[in-house]
């Protein structure tokens, strides 16, 4: 809202997304706004939403004067918007049934003084700040006199300025863009004029809104597409011309650890991820993994699916071990399943925005986004997907989109241009080889993230989803059974070489043992020889001693001395032999 200054127009928010932006804060407070358009443009919704938003968000009570439809009808119609009008009606809203039945007999001029007196009392009762006169054209037609019409309109305007209420008057105009000449004075009288337009292009309805006049305020005067969603009306403005988002370096898991590794830590928080591939390449499964992981971290998640029911998806995912039911139960996960409806994707993106506002998710899955982008048939819708992704980025929501690609030359091409918007693009393709079809996953791009350039094989089983390295051999990438065989062969080869090693070691151990045994034999032999020598030497010593003794005795007896030298020489030779044996074991065998 614009900061209030004594001179500037202060404004009230309508709660109509987009409108409050293009008017820099909503409708002029305490002034009157005219909403005009052909039948079915959403005039009543516009007016009612402005009133309801006041009652719900800013606790400003309001009055609704219905000239055209009965209040019962209006409340019933608004039930689709989830505003809970009956509850608001008790406290914050007052509906006045001012339907003038066509059978009413008119006998002379009349005025609105009585009704305004009643409204004034009611406004005081509930402290109303806003009022809607819905379908003023019905009243004007009944007056059937330009002077009287003007008089009553001025009466309403004076009454509004006296009571200080913010007024919204809706007026039906015939045909597209045409305004009955004598009602144009309404446009001069009010402070703000909003024109709604409804057209049919190629069998699809398009609604547009344009602010024609806004006294004392700037506004965007272009025509903007509007959509009616379950949360009410919203307006798609073209988005900021300058792209400025809060960026995050935080990473969040893709739900598949090996994919996180390939991305060096997972998806970037707040980015948009595109998973493309042919039908059945497990795009949905990959996006569901992301959703399940987000829920497991306790983050609110919105799962949007087209042409497949939520219950069906939950059941199918259970077969690959992904369980979403508990998260649905806890309310963390919201599943929104819808069908693509014709070329007006603006409406569908509008509904998605409403879903985002209602659930306030942290993570989101759109499966498939291509369901919306391929049906583009109208210029106004052409950049709807871009705008929606911009919106999600602005909200800081991490979104995983899938995109279906079939046909022949669509390997790495997206006709829709979604890929240029994606921050991270993962492509899953089929590789048909050796009579089987396998899934190959690659990361085509990942802005601002280092990532693996490797192809991985994606396999689905009862235990879940896994990524496996693929082998390149003989100039071919091996996947599926071929990869499995290769793995088996590799394993068998490893086993064989292991066995050979073991055998070789055993053989060597045997040889070593043999050598040791031989060594023992030699050593024992040596000892035996040594012993023998010792014995021999001993024997020789005793013998010579004996001889000497005998000789000595003999010499004594003969008185001789010449034999002594000979005996000494013999003793010396025996001692040298003994010394050699003691000096260690011989190294030779």
Partner 1 sequence: MRLYVAGNAPNSLRAIANAKAICEEYLTSRYALEVVDLLKHPRRAVDDGIIVTPTLLRLRPLPIQRVVGNLSDTNQVLLTLAAK
Residue 109 interacts with partner 1 (CB under 8 A)? yes
The total of other beta-carbon atoms located within 10 Å of residue 436's CB is 11
Residue 110 interacts with partner 1 (CB under 8 A)? yes
Distances from the Cα of 150 to the Cα of 36, 146, 172, 584, angstroms: 17, 6, 17, 139
Q: Whole-number minimum distance, CB 100 to partner 1, in Å?
A: 6
Residue 146 interacts with partner 1 (CB under 8 A)? no
Residue 102 interacts with partner 1 (CB under 8 A)? no
Q: What are phi and psi of 429, to 5 degrees?
A: -125, 165
Stretch that binds partner 1, among 98-106, 281-289, 353-361, 506-514 (CB under 8 A): 98-106
Q: What are phi and psi of 238, to 5 degrees?
A: -70, -5
Residue 89 interacts with partner 1 (CB under 8 A)? no
Give 550: exposed, middle or buried? Use CB within 10 Å, 0-12, 13-18, 19+. Answer: exposed
111 vs 485, which CB is nearer to partner 1? 111
Residue 460 interacts with partner 1 (CB under 8 A)? no
Q: Whole-number minimum distance, CB 159 to partner 1, in Å?
A: 12
Residue 126 interacts with partner 1 (CB under 8 A)? no
Q: Whole-number minimum distance, CB 43 to partner 1, in Å?
A: 20
Residue 120 interacts with partner 1 (CB under 8 A)? yes
Residue 117 interacts with partner 1 (CB under 8 A)? yes
Q: Identify the residue among 5, 6, 90, 114 touching partner 1 (CB under 8 A).
A: 114
Q: Whole-number minimum distance, CB 153 to partner 1, in Å?
A: 14
Rounded distance between C-alpha atoms, residue 275 and residue 249, angstroms: 21
Mode of pairing for the β-strands spanning 301-306 and 333-338? parallel
Q: In what order do the strands lie in the sheet with 192-201?
A: 93-97, 61-66, 128-134, 166-172, 32-37, 192-201, 204-214, 223-229, 232-235
Q: Whole-number minimum distance, CB 87 to partner 1, in Å?
A: 21
Q: Which pair of structure tokens corresponds to residue 488?
A: 């088996």
Residue 106 interacts with partner 1 (CB under 8 A)? yes
24: CB partners within 8 A, 6+ apart:
2, 11, 217, 218, 219
67 vs 206, which CB is nearer to partner 1? 67
The total of other beta-carbon atoms located within 10 Å of residue 515's CB is 11
Distances from the Cα of 518 to the Cα of 65, 226, 504, 587, angstroms: 120, 102, 21, 13
Give the angle 424-426-432 at the CA atoms, nearest 5°: 165
Stretch that binds partner 1, among 113-121, 233-241, 247-255, 280-288 (CB under 8 A): 113-121
Q: Cis omega before residue 554 (within 30°)?
A: no
Q: Identify the residue among 84, 111, 469, 514 touching partner 1 (CB under 8 A).
A: 111
Rounded distance between C-alpha atoms, residue 486 and residue 470, angstroms: 10
Residue 162 interacts with partner 1 (CB under 8 A)? no
Q: Whole-number minimum distance, CB 39 to partner 1, in Å?
A: 22
Residue 98 interacts with partner 1 (CB under 8 A)? yes
Stretch that binds partner 1, among 27-35, 92-100, 251-259, 488-496 (CB under 8 A): 92-100
With tokens 């993230």, the residue in question is 449
SS3 584: coil
19 vs 94, which CB is nearer to partner 1? 94
Tell me the angle at which helices 113-126 and 146-163 cross, rounded to the nearest 10 degrees: 20
Q: Are 30 and 66 in contact (CB under 8 A)?
A: no
Rounded distance between C-alpha atoms, residue 216 and residue 195, angstroms: 18
Residue 105 interacts with partner 1 (CB under 8 A)? yes
Q: Which pair of structure tokens corresponds to residue 120?
A: 């004034």
144 vs 514, which CB is nearer to partner 1? 144
Residue 522 interacts with partner 1 (CB under 8 A)? no
Q: Identify the residue among 79, 113, 499, 528 touching partner 1 (CB under 8 A).
A: 113
Stretch that binds partner 1, among 116-124, 212-220, 240-248, 333-341 (CB under 8 A): 116-124
Q: Whole-number minimum distance, CB 304 to partner 1, in Å?
A: 46
Q: Whole-number minimum distance, CB 54 to partner 1, in Å?
A: 23
Contact positions toward partner 1, by CB under 8 A? Answer: 97-100, 104-115, 117-118, 120-121
């Amino acid at each position: 809202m614009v900061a209030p200054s004594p001179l500037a127009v202060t404004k009230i928010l309508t709660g109509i997304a987009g409108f409050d932006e293009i008017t820099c804060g909503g409708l002029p407070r305490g002034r009157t706004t005219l909403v005009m358009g052909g039948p079915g443009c959403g005039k009543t919704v516009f007016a009612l939403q402005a009133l309801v938003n006041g009652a719900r968000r800013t606790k400003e009570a309001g009055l609704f004067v219905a000239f055209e439809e009965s209040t019962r009808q209006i409340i019933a119609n608004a039930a689709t918007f989830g505003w809970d009008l009956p509850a608001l009606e008790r406290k914050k809203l007052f509906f006045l049934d001012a339907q003038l039945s066509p059978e009413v007999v008119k006998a002379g001029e009349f005025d609105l003084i009585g009704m305004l007196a009643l409204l004034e009392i009611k406004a005081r009762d509930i402290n109303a700040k806003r009022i809607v006169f819905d379908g003023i054209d019905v009243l004007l037609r009944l007056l059937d006199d330009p002077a009287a019409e003007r008089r009553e309109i001025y009466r309403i305007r004076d009454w509004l300025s006296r009571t200080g209420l913010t007024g919204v008057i809706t007026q039906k105009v015939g045909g597209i863009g045409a305004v009955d000449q004598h009602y144009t004075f309404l446009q001069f009288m009010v402070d703000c004029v909003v024109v709604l337009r409804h057209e049919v292009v190629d069998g699809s309805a398009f609604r547009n809104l344009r602010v024609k006049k806004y006294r004392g305020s700037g506004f965007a005067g272009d025509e903007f597409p509007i959509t009616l969603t379950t949360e009410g009306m919203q307006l798609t403005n073209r988005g900021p011309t300058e792209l400025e988002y809060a960026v995050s370096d935080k990473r969040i898991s893709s739900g598949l650890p090996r994919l996180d590794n390939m991305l060096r830590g997972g998806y970037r928080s707040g980015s948009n991820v595109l998973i493309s591939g042919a039908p059945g390449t497990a795009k949905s499964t990959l996006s569901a993994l992301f959703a399940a992981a987000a829920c497991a971290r306790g983050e609110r998640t919105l799962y949007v699916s087209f042409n497949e029911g939520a219950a069906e998806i939950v059941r199918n995912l259970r077969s690959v071990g992904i369980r979403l039911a508990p998260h649905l139960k806890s309310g963390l996960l919201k599943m929104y399943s819808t069908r693509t409806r014709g070329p007006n994707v603006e409406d569908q993106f509008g509904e998605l925005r409403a879903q985002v506002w209602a659930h306030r998710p942290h993570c989101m899955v759109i499966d498939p986004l291509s369901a919306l982008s391929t049906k583009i048939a109208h210029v106004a819708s052409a950049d709807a997907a871009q705008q929606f992704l911009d919106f999600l980025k602005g909200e800081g929501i991490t979104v995983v989109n899938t995109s279906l690609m079939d046909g022949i030359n669509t390997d790495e091409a997206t006709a829709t241009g979604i890929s240029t918007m994606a921050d991270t693009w993962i492509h899953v393709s089929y590789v048909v080889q050796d009579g089987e079809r396998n899934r190959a996953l690659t990361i085509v791009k990942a802005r601002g993230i280092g990532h693996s350039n490797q192809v991985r094989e994606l396999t689905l089983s009862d235990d879940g989803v896994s990524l496996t390295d693929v082998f390149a051999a003989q100039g071919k990438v091996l996947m599926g059974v071929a990869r499995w065989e290769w793995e088996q062969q590799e394993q068998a080869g490893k086993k064989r070489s292991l066995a050979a090693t073991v055998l070789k070691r055993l053989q060597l151990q045997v040889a070593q043992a043999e050598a040791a045994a031989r060594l023992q034999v030699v050593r024992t032999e040596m000892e035996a020889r040594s012993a023998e020598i010792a014995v021999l030497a001993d024997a020789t010593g005793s013998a010579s001693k004996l001889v000497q003794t005998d000789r000595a005795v003999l010499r004594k007896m003969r008185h001789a001395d010449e034999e002594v030298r000979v005996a000494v020489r013999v003793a010396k030779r025996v001692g040298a032999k003994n010394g050699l044996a003691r000096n260690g074991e011989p190294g030779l065998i």
